[in-house]
Amino acid sequence: MKVVNDLLDYNNLKIVQDDNYFNFSLDSVLLPNFVKLNKNTKKILDLGTGNAPIPMILSTMTNAEIYGVELQKEIYELAVESLKINKLENRINLINDNIKNLDKYFEPNSFDVIVSNPPYFKYSEKSNINETIQKTIARHEKEITLSELVSIAKKYLDNNGTFAIVHRTDRLIEIIEEFRKNNIEPKRIRLIYPKEGEESNMVLIEGRKNGNIGLKILPPLIAHNKNGDYTDEVKNMFKERGR
pLDDT in tens, 94-149: 999 999 999 999 999 999 999 999 875 444 555 555 554 444 444 544 468 999 99
* Distance set, CA 225 to CA 42, 182, 189, 200, 230 (Å): 37, 38, 22, 14, 6
pLDDT at residue 2 in the model: 58
The whole-number average pLDDT for the span 166-174 is 94
pLDDT at residue 6 in the model: 58
- Which of 26-30, 121-125, 218-222, 239-243 is predicted least confidently? 121-125
* Distance set, CA 62 to CA 28, 43, 102 (Å): 17, 10, 23
Considering the chain, what percentage of its residues have pLDDT values greater than 90?
A: 67
pLDDT at residue 236 in the model: 87
Better-predicted residue by pLDDT, 19 or 212: 212
Q: What is the pLDDT of residues 52-71, one digit of tens each?
A: 999 999 999 999 999 999 98
The whole-number average pLDDT for the span 80-97 is 93
Quote the CA–CA distance of 83 and 74 in Å, as a whole number.
15
| Other beta carbons within 10 Å of 42 | 13
Let me know how many helices (H) and strands (E) the chain has, helices first: 7, 11
190-224 b/e (C-beta count within 10 Å ≥ 16 → b): bbbbeeeeeebebbbbbbbbebeeeeeeeeebbbb
The DSSP-derived string for 94-128 is: EEES-GGGGGGT--TT-EEEEEE----B---TT--
pLDDT at residue 187 in the model: 98
Q: Which one of 76-90, 112-126, 176-190 scores highest in mean pLDDT?
A: 176-190
The whole-number average pLDDT for the span 67-83 is 91
Instruction: Give 160's pLDDT tier (boundaries 50, 70, 90).
Output: very high
Output the CA torsion sign for 169, 132, 142, 104: negative
Considering the chain, what percentage of its residues have pLDDT values greater than 70?
A: 79
For the chain, give the mean pLDDT: 86
pTM: 0.86
The whole-number average pLDDT for the span 178-193 is 98
The whole-number average pLDDT for the span 32-38 is 96
What are the backbone dihedrals phi and psi of residue 56, each rounded to the nearest 5 degrees, phi first? -65, -40
